[in-house]
């Protein structure tokens, strides 16, 4: 409270220091001057006292010599009295003979004169009395004069009191003058302090009123006003830029040079589900489905070339994996030194789905066109094949020649093979009505495995069936799909065959995964495997219709079928059927 009151009275900070130091200097200089003056006064008065004392004692010694020669003690006593009266500072006067006996004196009643043994409480030993001693000419004894310093001390004390009064007066006047000068001189500084405080509170552009003087303080005030204006303009531009970045439709993510996130905008939160506070401090690797991809590929590429662009699969806060397009570049300061990395994120889920839908529509159009063609061709070929087969059977019954029978059997086998191709074409082209019933997909797979046991006896089949909800589907057609996929896996396996079948419930659909360790499918063929008549098998070992038929069945069930494959490592087919 006292501090606050003093601040109100004498100002704070610089003004207070200026007043305190000014008064302190004035008082210190006065004290030093007073010490010198009192010391000089004491020296002058002491020299005057000593001079008078020496003069009086020499005069007394000379007069005492004449009186002793004439043995005139009365005249000696008169001389002693005269000297005592002659100077007010004389404390005592006495004369001793050669045996130190006092033969004349003028002294206060309480002053004890010395005796022959030299024992006394002589005034010469008093603190304030200076004893002056002179030998009487002719060896007749000694003259003593005691000069009292009391008057000197009183003069010095009086002068000290005057000096103290002067110091207090000068200190008070100095305080008032320093106060006035401090308030006046620090007024521009206080204005600067207030301006700085206003800017600190966010009042950018605050302006100090210009003064009438043309000194350094005014120059500083003008510079402050210019700085305040520039700061206001810069912050205004930064706010516009910040708003633009924050409201940008694409995600903006800034990381340090090690890949730790230091900023993200609203669009990033919308894409990934993480708030800016949750993302801050995370490493980009924590968001990538491939954990070390950022440190292994992206960050080194940005440091080497200054930029990197590409597609990534990232994890949302809810655990969902989404495709994004990331364009990253290095940020450098005015010296060209790298300080951060900025990435622009675009959610390409809709784009990928659109591309997939376009592929599916294109594929569906292709299948429809091929289906119509296949149905027409199949019907046209079916009748000739039936006639060939019928006449071959008749000839086989009538002919006895073994050579002819062998050739007829070849014709019959090839006719049957052509008939199977025609049947496949008809199955592919036929859009038969689905017979939907509630089925357990796990049991349907077990039925297929039971039927195909002979074909699977040399292959290790592993199943992982999760409890899944029943689905509405055509049991026979679903079994046909599973059988077609298993046949493809069996035909792709060369040795030490393994097939893994998994089922799981995923949100609103049932997922079936069939994986094998076969030869796999080349990457350039992955987009063609559902096309009719496309096959990677040797001539005569497949028509290329199995996967096309399976694709059509799954689509009619409003499901999807996807394939992933690595050449030499195997293939995984994933079927999704709605619950």
| Distance of alpha carbon 504 from alpha carbon 513, whole angstroms | 9
Burial class of residue 385, CB neighbours in 10 A (0-12, 13-18, 19+):
middle
According to the model, what pLDDT value does residue 500 have? 92
| Distance of alpha carbon 388 from alpha carbon 415, whole angstroms | 7
Q: Are residues 128 and 241 in the same domain?
A: no
Q: Are residues 174 and 140 in the same domain?
A: yes
Among 429, 450, 481, residue at a domain's last position:
429
According to the model, what pLDDT value does residue 11 have? 46
Q: Are residues 129 and 213 in the same domain?
A: no
**Buried (b) or exposed (e) across 14-44, using 16+ Cβ within 10 A?**
ebbebbeebbeebbeebeeebeeeeeeebee
Q: Are residues 343 and 368 in the same domain?
A: no
What's 419's domain CATH number? 1.10.287.130
Q: Are residues 451 and 478 in the same domain?
A: yes
Q: Cα 164–168–171 angle (5° rounding)? A: 135
Mean pLDDT by 10 residues, the chain (579 residues): 46 67 82 87 90 91 82 83 87 88 80 52 59 84 90 88 86 80 68 73 71 66 74 73 79 90 89 90 87 84 89 87 90 88 88 72 60 62 78 83 84 77 60 78 90 84 91 87 86 84 90 89 73 57 66 85 85 90
According to the model, what pLDDT value does residue 115 have? 52
According to the model, what pLDDT value does residue 469 have? 92
Q: How many CB atoms lie within 10 A of CB 353?
A: 11
Among 149, 177, 203, residue at a domain's last position:
203
Among 295, 325, 347, residue at a domain's last position:
347
Q: Are residues 362 and 291 in the same domain?
A: no
Q: Are residues 252 and 236 in the same domain?
A: no
Domain count, the chain: 5
Give the residue from 64, 83, 84 showing the smallest Cα distance to 74.
64
Domain limits for position 237: 206-246
Q: Are residues 141 and 49 in the same domain?
A: yes
How far from each other are the two terminal CA atoms of the chain, in whole angstroms?
A: 77
According to the model, what pLDDT value does residue 539 have? 47
What's 301's domain CATH number? 3.30.450.20
According to the model, what pLDDT value does residue 16 have? 75
What's 513's domain CATH number? 3.30.565.10
| Distance of alpha carbon 224 from alpha carbon 198, whole angstroms | 12
Q: Are residues 282 and 232 in the same domain?
A: no
Q: Are residues 13 and 158 in the same domain?
A: yes
Q: Are residues 262 and 397 in the same domain?
A: no
Q: Are residues 79 and 28 in the same domain?
A: yes
**Residues listed for the chain:** 579
**CB-CB contact of 560 with 554 (8 Å):** yes
**CB-CB contact of 26 with 34 (8 Å):** no
């Amino acid at each position: 409270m006292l501090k606050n009151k003093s601040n109100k009275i004498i100002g704070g900070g610089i003004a207070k220091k200026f007043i305190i130091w000014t008064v302190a200097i004035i008082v210190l200089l006065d004290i030093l001057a007073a010490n010198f003056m009192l010391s000089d006064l004491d020296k002058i008065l002491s020299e005057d006292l000593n001079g008078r004392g020496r003069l009086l004692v020499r005069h007394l010694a000379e007069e005492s010599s004449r009186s002793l020669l004439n043995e005139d003690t009365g005249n000696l006593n008169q001389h002693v009295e005269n000297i005592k009266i002659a100077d007010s500072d004389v404390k005592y006067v006495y004369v001793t003979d050669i045996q130190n006996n006092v033969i004349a004196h003028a002294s206060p009643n309480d002053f004890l004169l010395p005796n022959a043994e030299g024992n006394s409480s002589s005034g010469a030993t008093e603190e304030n009395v200076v004893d002056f001693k002179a030998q009487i000419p002719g060896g007749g004894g000694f003259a003593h004069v005691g000069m009292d310093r009391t008057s000197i001390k009183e003069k010095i004390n009086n002068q000290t009191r005057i000096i103290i009064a002067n110091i207090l007066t000068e200190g008070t006047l100095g305080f008032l003058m320093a106060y006035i000068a401090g308030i006046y001189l620090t007024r521009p500084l206080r204005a600067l302090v207030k301006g700085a405080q206003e800017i600190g509170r966010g009042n950018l552009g605050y302006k100090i009123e210009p003064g009438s003087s043309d000194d350094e303080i005014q120059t500083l005030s003008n510079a402050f006003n210019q700085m305040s204006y520039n700061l206001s303009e810069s912050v205004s531009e930064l706010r516009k830029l910040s708003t633009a970045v924050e409201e940008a439709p694409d995600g903006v993510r800034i990381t340090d040079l090690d890949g730790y996130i230091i900023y993200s905008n609203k669009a990033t939160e919308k894409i990934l589900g993480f708030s800016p506070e949750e993302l801050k401090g995370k490493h980009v690797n924590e968001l990538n489905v491939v954990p070390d991809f950022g440190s292994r590929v992206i960050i080194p590429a940005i440091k080497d070339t200054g930029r990197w662009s590409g597609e990534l699969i990232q994890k949302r806060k809810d655990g969902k994996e989404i495709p994004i397009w990331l364009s990253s570049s290095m940020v450098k300061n005015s010296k060209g030194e790298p300080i951060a990395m900025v990435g622009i994120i675009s959610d390409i889920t809709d784009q990928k789905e659109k591309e997939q839908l376009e592929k599916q529509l294109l594929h569906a159009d292709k299948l429809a066109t091929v289906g119509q063609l296949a149905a027409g061709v199949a019907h046209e070929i079916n009748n000739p094949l039936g006639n060939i087969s019928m006449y071959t059977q008749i000839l086989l019954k009538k002919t006895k020649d073994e050579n002819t029978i062998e050739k007829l059997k070849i014709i019959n086998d090839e006719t049957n093979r052509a008939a199977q191709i025609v049947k496949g074409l008809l199955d592919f082209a036929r859009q038969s009505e689905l017979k939907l019933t509630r089925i357990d997909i796990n049991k349907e797979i077990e039925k297929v495995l039971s039927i195909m046991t002979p074909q699977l006896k040399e292959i290790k089949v592993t199943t992982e069936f999760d409890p899944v909800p029943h689905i509405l589907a055509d049991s026979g057609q679903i079994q046909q799909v599973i059988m077609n996929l298993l046949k493809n896996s069996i035909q792709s396996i060369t040795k030490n065959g393994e097939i893994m079948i998994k089922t799981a419930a995923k949100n609103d659909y049932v997922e079936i995964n069939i994986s094998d360790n076969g030869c796999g499918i080349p990457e350039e063929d992955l987009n063609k495997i559902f096309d009719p008549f496309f096959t990677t098998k040797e001539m005569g070992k497949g028509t290329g219709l199995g996967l096309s038929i399976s694709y059509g069945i799954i689509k009619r069930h409003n499901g999807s079928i996807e394939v992933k494959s690595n050449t030499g490592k195997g293939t995984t087919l994933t079927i999704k059927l709605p619950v």
